[in-house]
Structure 1
Amino acid sequence: MQNPSGTHTDKQLALIRRYDPIKNIESLSTRPILLLHGDADTTVSIDSQRYFYQQMQVFNKKEVRYIRFVEIPDLNHQITLSIVEEMINWLDFHV
């Protein structure tokens, strides 16, 4: 959450940096990760997901089976039935 001026506090920025997936990519290398993102999302840019996915592939070439990225065409920042089905299938396989 941002403060009233629209910026993050120092404490919030420190937490964002601490939990940034890119900065923790090594610890995520063998964890199953499912990325689902609408390519028309106006709330969160899909570019960050694309970048993370590319970095995971570069970092962990041997275990790319652990990460799946699904771009949903023409979808804004919403959850659809197909997204829920994708999540269920992912969990069935990895849990």
Structure 2
Amino acid sequence: MKTTILKFALFSFALLAFSQVNAQDRQKPDPEKMFTALDTNKDGTVSLDEMKARKTKREVTPEAQEKRFAAMDADANGAITLEEFKTAMAKVKGRGQGEGKKKQE
């Protein structure tokens, strides 16, 4: 009887965890949509001014924005392309999932 209850509890916990992971996956932003929203002049790149003009949920200092922009601008040409943006987003996503998983794969 205890074994059956334990199995049921473990199954319920796994089901709950799986449903929460799926809910998080559905809420992840689309990098292309984010990039399009940032590219206000529609020239196919995002400038530092465009990035600074975007509204965020929390206040970010200009220095932090400049640092973030420089990290995303891989070729340091003063503009972020869609590919650079996607690469930066993938790096952020990887950090959120934990580095331990990456090393094992």
TM norm structure 1: 0.28
Structure with more contact order per residue of length (Cα contacts < 8 Å, sep ≥ 6): 1
User: Quick check: which has more Rg, 1 or 2?
Assistant: 2
